[in-house]
């Protein structure tokens, strides 16, 4: 198998920091769109491969899959890469709305160029709505958080809004609540971890792990805890990874499956938009997310995930919950630090 090598880039290529000032109001449409890409690239992507390439042409942006960044062993069809690009296209749309642009977004169909995921075109001007601004403000706050979450349920009303968010983008969201369904999913994740313990998958995953001193602007930090959900793949007996992941699945406050009726490029792009809409709405309400996407990456197991979820074709499996605050450090009392007159 031809494993995609991780490209070497200088570390300044995709800065994580972005501010309002980065998109000048008086610039040409293509300049503004190019500046807005700094927001689009804040989207999540499988193994932080950032498998997107953008072409700006006047008032239009086309989003393509960057095939050199598709995971040949883990994601041979490029499905998760397209999902990631769909998330970036949705993020670009939010940025355009934040800057007062109205837009027309289209996902690519079967007759379009093979690597095209979708396009965004500027159509006019209107201020963003309050809910668009809420999502926009969550773009920088959203991060994958792989640590255990607080033992707090996700409110039913918020789950209903997350459903709506997914449906607004043309995908479905299924929430696993029954213990039997959670156990079935935990079992599937365990089987997927075992299935991906082959040499090609491990080599590919390892290529995107960022060890100490590696400051490349992509890949996932390879730190022991709260770092990377696939850590156990690389360094330990898969049994440890399986046990740890099963515990996280069983203890997840909310287990979600983003699914689509169809299973083609357009559906994958819509799933990516739905994923990012759900993540940002969750982040706006203080929720963090992490993923258990391994069983969707194993051909034999993906239909089983869809069956457990009971909806369409499973695209992304994730967990939502309230992050646990890390304990702060203590401070001495004021009396101890306040100098008295002459003291
Ligand atoms: C389609 C897709 C699948 C993903 N699958 C996993 C996964 O199985 N395990 C995991 O730990 N993270 C997974 N992630 C999360 C990415 O690793 C994460 O988005 C990326 O490292 C960027 O970090 P950020 O989300 O904090 O911006 C997935 C993300 C996407 C978009």
Q: Could you report the average pLDDT of every consecutive run of 10 residues in the chain (343 residues)?
A: 56 59 90 96 96 97 98 97 98 98 98 97 98 97 91 96 98 94 93 87 87 86 54 62 83 95 98 98 96 95 96 96 83 89 72
ipTM over 0.90: yes
Give domain limits for the chain: 20-141, 156-321
Domain 20-141 fold is: NADH Oxidase (3.40.109)
Is the Cβ atom of 46 under 6 angstroms away from ligand 1? yes
Residue 11 pLDDT: 42
Domain 156-321 fold is: NADH Oxidase (3.40.109)
Residue 343 pLDDT: 65
What span, in angstroms and rounded, lies between the C-alpha atoms of 302 and 286?
A: 30
Same fold, 20-141 and 156-321: yes
Got the DSSP string for 17-60? ---GGGS-TTS-HHHHHHHHHHHHTTS--GGG---EEEEEETTE
Is the Cβ atom of 146 under 6 angstroms away from ligand 1? yes
Residue 167 pLDDT: 98
Closest to 192 in 3D by CA, of 296, 86, 110: 296
Is the Cβ atom of 314 under 6 angstroms away from ligand 1? no
Distance 44 CA to ligand 1 centre (A): 6
Is the Cβ atom of 233 under 6 angstroms away from ligand 1? no
Distance 289 CA to ligand 1 centre (A): 9
Distance 258 CA to ligand 1 centre (A): 14
- In this structure, the dihedral spanned by the alpha carbons of residues 12, 17, 23 and 28, taken in order and rounded to 10 degrees, is 20
Q: Which residue has the tokens 């730190």?
A: 223
């Amino acid at each position: 198998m031809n494993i995609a090598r991780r490209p070497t880039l200088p570390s300044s290529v995709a800065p994580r920091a972005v501010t309002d000032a980065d998109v000048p109001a008086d610039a040409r449409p293509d300049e503004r769109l190019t500046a807005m890409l700094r927001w689009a690239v804040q989207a999540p992507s499988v193994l932080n491969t950032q498998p997107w390439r953008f072409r700006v042409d006047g008032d239009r942006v086309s989003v393509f899959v960057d095939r050199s960044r598709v995971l040949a062993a883990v994601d041979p069809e490029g499905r998760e890469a397209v999902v990631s690009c769909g998330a970036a296209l949705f993020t670009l749309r939010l940025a355009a709305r934040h800057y007062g642009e109205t837009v027309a977004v289209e996902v690519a169909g079967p007759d379009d160029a093979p690597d095209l995921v979708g396009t965004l075109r500027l159509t006019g001007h209107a201020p963003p709505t309050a809910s668009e601004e809420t999502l926009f403000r969550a773009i920088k706050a959203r991060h994958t958080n792989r640590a255990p979450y607080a033992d707090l349920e996700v409110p039913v009303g918020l789950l209903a809004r997350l459903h709506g968010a997914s449906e607004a983008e043309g995908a479905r969201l299924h929430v696993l609540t029954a213990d039997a369904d959670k156990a079935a999913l935990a079992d599937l994740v365990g089987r997927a971890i075992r299935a991906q313990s082959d040499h090609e998958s491990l080599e590919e995953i390892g290529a995107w792990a960022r060890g100490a001193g590696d400051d490349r602007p992509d890949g996932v930090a390879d730190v022991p805890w709260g770092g990377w959900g696939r850590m156990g793949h690389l360094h330990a007996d898969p049994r440890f990874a399986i046990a740890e992941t099963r515990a996280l699945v069983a203890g997840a406050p909310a287990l979600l499956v983003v699914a689509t009726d169809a299973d083609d490029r357009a559906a994958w792009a819509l799933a990516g938009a739905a994923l990012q809409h759900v993540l940002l709405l969750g982040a706006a309400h203080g929720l963090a997310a992490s993923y258990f996407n391994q069983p969707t990456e194993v051909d034999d197991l993906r239909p089983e995930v869809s069956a457990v979820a009971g909806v369409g074709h499973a695209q992304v499996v994730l967990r939502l919950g309230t992050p646990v605050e890390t304990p702060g450090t203590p401070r001495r009392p004021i009396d101890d630090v306040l100098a008295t007159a002459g003291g």
